[in-house]
Amino acid sequence: MTIDWHWASIPELAAAFRDGRSSPTAHLSHLLGRIDALEPSLHAFVALDSDGAAGAADASAARFAAGQPLGPLDGIPIAIKDVIDVAGFPTTCHSALRLDHVAARDADVVARLRAAGAIILGKLSTHEFAIGGPAFDLPFPPARNPWNTAYHPGGSSSGAGAGVAAGFFSAAIGTDTAGSARNPASASGGVGLKPTYERLSRDGVFPLAPTLDHVGILTRGVEDAAILFDVLTGDTHAADLGSGASGLRIGMVRHFHEEDMPADAETAAALDRVAVSLAAQGAEVIDMRLPPLEAFATVNRVLLQSEGYAIHGADMRTRPERFSALTRKALLPGAFLSAKDMILATWHRGRLTEAVDAAFADVDVLLTASSMEPACAIDDPAEIARTYMLQARTPFNVTGHPALAMMAGLSTGGLPLSLQSAPRRDDERTLLRVAAAWEAAMGGPQHPPL
């Protein structure tokens, strides 16, 4: 049987490296050929480090030949969103303002991956400074959706979502301030994990809004996300993925997608199927109410715009033409927000966080929509602006709880539909367990027809 190695999971690759069916060097060569063929239509990369990756793959192959791999990520190609430092490469943030800002050292998460033997394949497309949208007036083109290249792949970790879904690499590291790792997972059909706030170090990550920023993980499947999270944190979550949903209490936050911000019919039906599937596996699924979705969105917007303008205000005032039009539009409102606005947003943030914490007195996991609709056309600015607001991801940036977005099925148009789940703070173990239960019911990770 022919194996499509670009879809292989991290454990499958590790087993193949150990028993000689493949090697880190051979696998990298396969992926570089795939990238060469598909990247011109997807634009996932800002910079591809073929030579550095080849050296790392050879070193990994030697460790496997000696029977001394460093761990589950040894020889596994991983790519990095270009707001995260990789030594020797510019951290451009996809912006003309930072083309010459070469990183002197690796960000903490990148250093941890290298220490585990992972192969750093390159830097990935993003929305400029992780905000704005898919802009066409920047030094690099925007990434596109592997399910249909006329569509948006989600953002701002757009190259991460596109590259994972296209089979360019096993995993990617992105960031998530208002859903920026979970949105690409929703639009492009992978798994996007936003851990608990500050669970992963942001050292070496260019900030957007520091009180909301998270480092995020993007993979094709749940097990791969768990393995990556374990390596980065030193925990052991992957071992619990087979426990299933039986005995868990799941609170479905229907009002997010039925009342607050109505989802399209296919998304709503997909969420119902997920709830029915988890109940059939032995979970208790109950309806749960939280504060209105708009309350979370407003707090997130005030904090993000205020903090974002504090970081970019000087450049916005002195050389605004260097930003894309979309970035200027996204950042400029922060110039008009006051200290009172920040104080009120911070106060409301506390009340919203208390409300979400209180919900976990009755349930183990919250089940919500992620995106309310599938991806839209990438060259339709009005639709991009409209659909970016149609999501339920921002609550968990406001509160800092972990959250995971993944596929819930496919639309009749052949684009991914999505769901989101969130547990108690620091309970990524239960979050990954529930995600694995749904993934198993779905038949495993789904791939675009590439």
Q: Known catalytic residues?
A: 81, 156, 180
User: Which of 118, 16, 112 is CA-nearest to residue 74?
Assistant: 118
d(CA 441, CA 1): 24
Please list, in sequence order, all residues whose beta carbon lies within 8 angstroms of the beta carbon of residue 205, skipping any fewer than 6 positions away: 83, 84, 85, 107, 109, 175, 213, 215
Could you please report the per-residue DSSP string of 294-345?
HHHHHHHHHHHHHHHHHHHHHHHHH-GGGS-HHHHHHHGGGGG--HHHHHHH
**Pair of tokens at residue 366:** 């919250």
Report CA-CA distances (Å) from 52 to 35, 84, 92, 99.
16, 17, 19, 20
| Cα atoms found within 13 Å of the Cα of residue 152, Cβ hemisphere only | 31
User: Which of 76, 107, 75, 114 is CA-nearest to residue 174?
Assistant: 107
Backbone angles phi, psi at 148, to 5 degrees: -165, 110
Angle between helices 50-65 and 24-42 in degrees, nearest 10 = 150
User: Which of 444, 386, 397 is CA-nearest to residue 420?
Assistant: 397
d(CA 285, CA 434): 12
**∠269-270-273 over CA atoms, to 5°?**
90
d(CA 346, CA 300): 10
**Pair of tokens at residue 324:** 């894309």
